[in-house]
Amino acid sequence: MSNPLVSKKWLLARMYEPNMVIVDCRFQLGAPEAGKAAYAESHIPGAIYLDLENDLSAPIGEHGGRHPLPEPEALAKRLGRVGISNDSIVVAYDDQGGMNASRLWLLLRWLGHEQVYVMDEGFSAWQQDSYPVTADQRVVIPSSFQPVVRDELIADVEDVRSAIGNPDVLLVDSREAPRYLGQTEPIDAKAGHVPSAINAFWKNNLDAEGKWTSVDQRRAGLSEVIDALDAGREVIVYCGSGVSACPNIVALHSLGYSNVRLYAGSWSDWISYSENPVAVGDE
């Protein structure tokens, strides 16, 4: 399968296959224990839990943003400890519109793993359809995960600096418009965006019920990005901390566009360098 998105029914039909690993990625910014508590209360049978900050990010430092990329070897060991091997089929879900699940999808692809998917809609929709849930936690049999790091999927601050005003590169800011425009900034120390970046809010990939939009709607919503890719331009996507940019990358992959990089540190890394320029308003 080339489409990174799978339906609830697809997972329901395959959830007990021996090489399937279901990962609960629920996490709430500002309430870091809420996701794990929700998992302990109820989750998809057989699912294991991975925490955005403790498992899918490195400790915060001077640079690297609010959710720095983990070291590849450390992440690989963590994945192996929860039973994910190079042969596993991994399906990630959350209840945040696929934001955190997409982060795991991106990290696994970064480590060279192809058989990873994001479940459409999320846990609440699974539960509302009376699909099976449980509080029982899976007995994990540790495995071994050997990473083959794909550096071409990640951009750093130097890549973004060189992209500003470069006609061969398109920078895409995935945050909501008021943050991109610099009208408000509820999380980070500075408001605005990287100069020359366009805005493509990641939640535009979702409908009013939180389901991923149709292929045609996704294509229309990301038309400027797709035009750039069709023209042979490089695309670097960022957000606040390298998490909510990931659904935009999933959306592009679902449309057949894989030549996209994540600026992992994103806006919170960009503003950690005092010399970096900041733009406000529309581009």
Joined together, the tokens standing for residue 41 give 């209360």
Write out the DSSP string of 55-72: TSSPPP-SSS-SSPPPPH
- In degrees, rounded to 5, the angle at the alpha carbon of residue 72 between the alpha carbons of residues 194 and 159 is 25
Joined together, the tokens standing for residue 183 give 């009208």
Burial tier of 58 (Cβ tally within 10 Å: 0-12, 13-18, 19+): middle
Joined together, the tokens standing for residue 161 give 């600096």
* Strand ranges (E), the chain: 5-6, 20-24, 48-49, 89-93, 116-119, 154-155, 169-173, 198-199, 234-238, 260-263
Active site residues: 239
Region class of 120: left (phi > 0), else alpha (psi between -120 and 50), else beta: beta
DSSP 3-state helix, strand, coil percentages of the chain (rounded to 5)?
A: 30, 15, 50
Q: How far apart are the first and last CA of the chain?
A: 37
- Contact status, residue 92 vs residue 23, Cβ threshold 8 Å: yes
Q: What is the per-residue burial (b if ≥16 Cβ within 10 Å, else e) of 74-109?
A: ebbebbbebbbbbebbbbbbbbbbbbbbbbbbbbbb
Task: Please give the torsion angle defined by the CA atoms of residues 219, 225, 109 and 18, in that order, rounded to the nearest 10 degrees.
Answer: -10
